[in-house]
Amino acid sequence: MNQIMSNKRVIALYTLPALLLIMVLIYVPLALTGYYGLMDWDGIGEMTFIGLDNYAALIVDGAFWSSAWHSLLLAVFSVGSLVLYLGVSLVLASDVKGANLFRKIYLIPMLLSSVAIAQLWLRVYHPTNGVMNRFLTSIGIENPPLWLADTSIVLFAIFIPIIWQYAGFYIIIYYAALKNVPNEIVEAARIDGASPLQIAYKIKLPLIAGIIKVTIVLAVIGSLKYFDLIYVMTDGGPNGASEVMASYMYKLAFRTNEFGYGSAVGFFLLILILIVTYLIRKATTSKDDEVQY
Amino acid sequence: MKKKMYLSMFSAAAVLSLAACGSGDNEEASGAAGGNDDSGNNAAEGNEAEGNNEGASEDQEEVTLDFMHLWPQGSSPDHYRIVEDIISEFEEEYSHVTVEMEVLENEQYKNKLQVVSSSNQLPDVGMTWPAGFLEPYAEGEMFAPLDDILDEDGMRDDFVAGTVEAYSVDDQAYALPLELNIAPVFYNQAIFEENGVEVPETYEDLLSVIDTLASNGVTPIALGNRDRWTGSMWYMYLADRIGGSDALNSAIDRSGSFEDERLVDAAARIQEMVDHDAFIPGFNGLSDQEAKAEFMNSSAAMYLIGSWDLPNYTTNEEVDQEFRDNIDFFKFPEVDGGEGEINNWVGGPGVGLFVAEDSDVKEEAKAFVKHFTEEWGKRSVEDAGVIPGTQVNTDEVDLPDLFIDVLDELNNASDITLFADVQMSSSVAEEHLNMIQSLFGGEVTPEEFTEAHEEALQAED
Amino acid sequence: MSNTAAMEKSGQGIKIGSLRLKLSSMILYLILGLVALLQILPLIWLLLFSLKDNQEVFNLAPFALPQDPQWSNYARVWVDGNIGLYFFNSVLVTGISVILTILLASFVTFALTRMQWKLSKLALGLFMVGLMIPVHSALIPLFSFFTTIGIMDNHLSIILTYTAFNLPLTIMILLGFYYTIPRELEEAAIVDGCSIHRLFFRIILPITAPVVATTAIINMIYNWNEFVFVNTFISSDSLKTLTVGIQNFIGQYSTDWGAIGATLVISMLPILIAFFLLSNKIVEGMTSGSVKG
């Protein structure tokens, strides 16, 4: 048995193709990003080696740190919203009549491309014609917020569509995980007289703990390198009020001809993600835990 | 140093030669026509030469010429059609060349250009923007100098003076312009009449027009400042009207400082306008297109935009005829005691064609750029509503009056200040654009605004 | 646990309990229904959006009916948009990438969770870090790599990229599920003389069908809507995918939004159908899996 399950040739056969692929297509670019980060390069012509100058500049770059802060906030919000998705999934995966239909409907927005989502939410937030402000004015609020134009709320205004955009993604994962919980265990508990809440809390959640941890990591990583809607809806503005690390990096690399510096930001972003992921792992993994990630 | 060159590029006299109007200029027009004939002859000669070549080696090697542009068929059908026509004409003339084009949308185009150039894979011919955008490509020796085409049968004179210079670095031209724009203030005559206001001639007039409109519940000005260059134009004009073209230009070319009193004053006036509720609510969160929609549905009275938008107010059948008839434009008002002239414009060339330095078919590519620029110049205004970088003879083209008026203004321009975000290097431009949003949003004082510019400009040196 | 149970056992308790149950299930359905409505609205919005002209897109309220529905938007998209070809390319690229990704990821996850080898943790770490690279950092390195090996402007370049970039995420999601498969299962199989490949293909893969369907949906959506890599690596019009159709209507200074809406609707239909089919698999797969388990 053990011999079969530790057959080196099979292990190589199963893992090497994928490893090779990510080595070449992800790790080489990663290494190059690190390398470009040591260069003064506009992304077009010749590059010059400047050592750690880019990182020295990064340390004192206020715009970078404010974008990093925004990214961290987004990560916190995304992780917080997982509770909501989990709740919805618990309901959908229970025996509520019509759950199957609801599940499909709930996942529909996830099929929309970012282009469509951005256009939709721009219409929601439009200062005069938008769904939101038309509603607010109709209930008698005279000066409704200007949402994306207001530096003090733009960041939170943009978080909502982002979190909404990913709802389907997490719900579908939780749903599949909950459906994976053996029926017998749930039935047994029910016969013992456990309430649905108790079944969810005491039985289902512990059983899908592994996948919950995975989603926390995914939410954090996804948030820290998030780019799409911010780029389309606010372009990081007004004046950086909604800038996140990835959009800042993009601007440096592709707009202001500071590809070297942009790469340094990209590399730093990677290191930051590594640290945060490590911390989460530390915080959520107990010693005897079988689930490793 | 380099900057200074294209800052002062549009001299009054030079721009005057733009379009031939009236009898006096007819000579010149025919001269230009003669020039065209010449080039025609040359082309014929070229053909002969080619013919000879063909005689020598029947099978001239078939080559492919890659051409990347940003006028997709869906959004720009007129542009696209002209491009296709030009390509098929060219392929007829140079039978051994096949032109393969790749079309990308603006943003994606810019990204791809940078990615391909980092791997030395630029298309043989492509589009570039002037000045700040082009500079790294020229300095990185990615674009080929095109002075040889320009000097061939006097092609340089076909261009509106100053436009080629916007694509030049160290006195060498790296692209040939296809577009030239100025930015008038478009306004809705019906709204002006209803509210009993007149076209403002001074900044004070403008403020009182704004006040009247605002108190009547009409949005005075549509401004989509999420795109930032839109707000930048308002600042550029005020800076120009207060300090003349010198104030801004000397600050940028470093012969002066951005912490110039006149530039501070211009910034203060922007905030004064904001305080008077001049601009559409939430302008910092709106894109130019969203703001434009407010102007197009007659809920905003004024809109400052480049002349590329003229078709919307003239020929675009999708736009309500009554609305189009209501639209006129005025020159940006003067500021009392300011040094600027009312005939100064903010504007400049848009995209131009480059040839890749490493192209395998450089000769063909250059011929293509030359052919393209000439043919484009003949057709673009009439067929696509694009004012080309080459001179347009307003007598010979059939255009709506509003179009002719703008062309005439371009003709009479005393100076054209290049759009700030094009003129500055990309990183200074980014700071400028961000500060524009903050200035309009009231998050910085005029002093902080100019100080931030000064710092960014100094960091460049 | 016993409180509610006890109450339900007494006669009165049943009445109150069922009344409360009825009320709470009504509230539950009300909430479920409301959320479902909210999730469907974007589709309706998109449909209306695709029938508006450029003026109406901005001037009308998002859910207002267009005065004169612009069916011509669809005609324009069909004629100018070259949709048929792009459509075929999208299906091809998405299909191959999804299959490749899931197969490779399942191999890897199987080796990581079921087989014993020293470097498995390191390998897992390598895959996880792959999640962290920001897309824009990879553009220039990948472009030069594909140019060097000569698969630029070839579907292979985007298929490989999609696969590599989705592998880490897919593996992460699979992991949580693989850990829940009971060890006895493969032990029994091995004892029965099942080869390891047979074990993987005949037993493990079918059991994981729900999660495979889940990751297939996620992968499919990502690949279908992706455009940065397509634009960068593909130049020939004949090889481009549907997202390019959207760009076709973005102009230098203005955008044809109605046509973009029509393109979005057209390109969303197939993915909607695929989604409904796959989404059933999440449940079906589980039942068939549990029979075998």
Q: pLDDT tens, A91-148?
A: 888 777 888 888 888 888 888 888 889 989 998 999 888 889 989 999 988 889 999 9
pLDDT tens track of chain C, all 293 residues? 444 444 444 445 455 667 777 788 888 889 889 988 988 888 999 999 999 888 788 877 778 888 888 888 888 888 766 788 888 999 999 999 999 999 999 999 999 988 888 888 899 989 988 888 888 889 989 998 999 999 999 999 999 999 999 999 999 999 888 887 888 888 888 888 888 888 899 888 888 888 899 999 999 999 999 988 998 999 888 898 988 778 888 888 888 888 889 988 988 888 999 988 888 877 654 444 443 33
In this structure, of B42-46, B95-99, B226-230, B277-281, the range with the lowest mean pLDDT score is: B42-46
Domain co-membership, C44 together with C104: no
Distance of residue C14 Cα from the nearest chain B Cα, in angstroms: 57
Confidence bin at B453 (pLDDT 50/70/90): very high
Residue C142: give its domain's CATH number: 1.10.3720.10
C292 contacts in A (CB within 8 Å)? none
Q: Which of A32, A108, A192 sits opposite C141 (nearest CB)?
A: A32
Cβ contacts of C156 within 8 Å, gap of 6 or more:
none
C116 and C172 in a single domain? The answer is: yes
Cα of A118 to nearest chain B Cα, Å: 12
What pLDDT score does C223 carry? 94
B contact residues 424-443, partner A, Cβ 8 Å cutoff: 425-427, 429-430, 434-435, 437-438, 441, 443
What pLDDT does residue B37 have? 39
Q: Which chain B residues contact residue C236 at CB under 8 A?
A: 100, 102
- Which of A38-42, A98-102, B260-264, C272-276 is predicted with the least confidence, judged by mean pLDDT? A98-102
Domain spanning B2-6+62-179+350-392, CATH architecture: 3-Layer(aba) Sandwich (3.40)
Rounded percentage of chain A residues whose pLDDT exceeds 70:
96
Confidence of residue B41 (pLDDT cuts 50, 70, 90): very low
User: Is C143 in CB contact (< 8 Å) with chain B?
Assistant: yes
Query: What phi and psi, each to the nearest 5 degrees, are found at residue A135?
Result: -65, -50
User: Distance between CA atoms of C260 and A221, rounded to whole angstroms?
Assistant: 31
Subunits with 3+ Cβ pairs within 8 Å of B are A, C
pLDDT of residue B182: 93
Q: How confident is the model at residue B178 (pLDDT cuts 50, 70, 90)?
A: very high
CB-based burial, A130-148: b 16+ in 10 Å, e otherwise? bbbbeeeeeeeeeebbbbb
Average pLDDT of B14-20? Answer: 39
Structure tokens, A135: 């509603």
Chain B CB contacts of C59 below 8 Å: 293, 296-297
Structure tokens at B365: 């590519």
Mutate to test the interface with B, among A41, A233, A252, A257 (most CBs of B within 10 A): A257
A235, B226: Cβ pair inside 8 Å? Answer: yes
For chain B, the structural domain boundaries read 2-6+62-179+350-392, 182-347+418-460
Provide the percentage of residues in chain B whose pLDDT is more than 90. Answer: 64
Q: Are residues C164 and C81 in the same domain?
A: yes
Number of H helices, E strands in chain B: 20, 14
- Cα A22 versus chain centre, distance: 20
My answer on whether C26 and C162 are in the same domain is no
Average pLDDT, rounded, for chain A: 89
pLDDT digits 0-9 by tens, C165-223: 999 999 999 988 888 788 888 888 888 888 888 889 988 888 888 889 999 999 999 99
Q: Are residues C43 and C90 in the same domain?
A: no
State yes or no: pLDDT of B43 exceeds 70: no
Residues 6+ apart with CB under 8 A from A38: A49, A50, A51, A52, A54, A260, A264
C208 domain residue, yes or no: yes
| A210 interfacial to chain B (CB closer than 8 Å) | no
Cβ contact B21:B411 at 8 Å: yes
Give a yes or no: residue C239 inside a domain.
yes
Q: How far is residue A173's CA from residue A180's CA, in Å, rounded to a whole number?
A: 11
**pLDDT at residue A194 above 70?**
yes
Query: Both C171 and C287 in a single domain?
Result: yes
Pairing relation of β-strands B176-177 and B352-355?
antiparallel
Length of chain A measured in residues:
293
Q: What's the confidence (pLDDT) of residue B35?
A: 38
C138:A182 CB<8 A: no
Provide the token pair at C187: 């032990």
| pLDDT tens-digit readout, A45-100 | 888 999 999 999 999 999 999 999 999 999 999 999 999 999 989 988 877 788 88
Say how far apart CA C153 and CA B315 lie, in whole Å.
39
Between A288-292, B191-195, B353-357, C20-24, the lowest mean confidence (pLDDT) is in: A288-292
Percent residues over pLDDT 90 in chain A: 52
Is pLDDT at A286 greater than 80 in this prediction?
no
d(CA B86, CA B388): 15
CB–CB of B297 and C259 under 8 A? no
On chain B, the residues whose CB falls within 8 A of the CB of C77 are 74
C196 and A CB contact within 8 Å: yes
Question: pLDDT tens for residues A8-25?
Answer: 888 889 999 999 999 999
C-alpha to C-alpha distance for C197 and C179, rounded to whole angstroms? 19
**Which sequence spans correspond to the domains of chain A?**
63-284
Q: How confident is the model at residue B420 (pLDDT cuts 50, 70, 90)?
A: confident
What total number of domains does chain C contain?
2
B121 touches chain C (CB under 8 A): yes
Classify residue C104: in a domain, yes or no: yes
Q: How far apart are CA B106 and CA B211, in angstroms?
A: 37
To the nearest whole Å, the CA of A132 is away from the closest chain C CA by 11
Which CATH architecture describes the domain A63-284? Orthogonal Bundle (1.10)
Looking at chain B, which residue has its C-alpha nearest residue C59? B293
More confident residue, B315 or A182: B315
Cα–Cα dist C280/C289, whole Å:
14
* pLDDT classification of A2: cutoffs 50, 70, 90: low
CB contact set of A45 (below 8 Å; sequence gap of 6+)? B136, B137, B139, B140, B141, B142
**pLDDT band for position B13 (50/70/90)?**
very low
How far apart CA B99 and CA B368 sit, in angstroms, is 9
Q: Is the pLDDT of residue B331 over 90?
A: yes
C96 with C40, same domain?
A: no
Do B128 and B137 contact (CB within 8 A), yes or no? yes
What does pLDDT average to over chain B? 86
Give Cα separations from B264 to A165, B283, B427, B442 (angstroms). 43, 22, 21, 14
CB spacing of C247 vs B72 below 8 angstroms = yes
Whether C110 is covered by a domain: the verdict is yes
Confidence category of residue B185, pLDDT binned at 50, 70, 90: very high
Measure CB to CB from residue C59 to each of B75, B76, B297 and give the nearest one: B297
Residue C216 forms contact with A (CB below 8 Å): no
Is B182-347+418-460 in the same CATH topology as B2-6+62-179+350-392? yes
Identify whether C67 is part of a domain.
no
Tell me the per-residue pLDDT of B271-319, one tens digit each, with 9 for 90 and over. Answer: 999 999 999 999 999 999 999 999 998 999 999 999 999 999 998 888 8
Please report the pLDDT score of residue C278 as a whole number: 86
Mean pLDDT highest for which of A126-140, B197-211, B403-417? B197-211
Chains that touch A (3 or more CB pairs under 8 A): B, C
Q: Are strands B97-103 and B63-69 parallel, antiparallel or unpaired?
A: parallel
State which residues form the domain around C31: 2-49
Q: What whole-number distance in Å separates Cα of residue C292 and Cα of residue C201? A: 13
Q: Does C156 touch chain A (CB under 8 A)?
A: no
CB B186 within 8 A of CB B302: yes
Give a yes or no: residue C213 inside a domain. Answer: yes
- State the pTM of this model: 0.87
CA–CA distance, A132 with A125 (Å, rounded to integer): 6
| Residue of C77, C247, C254 with shortest CB distance to B289 | C254
B182-347+418-460 falls under which CATH superfamily?
Periplasmic binding protein-like II (3.40.190.10)
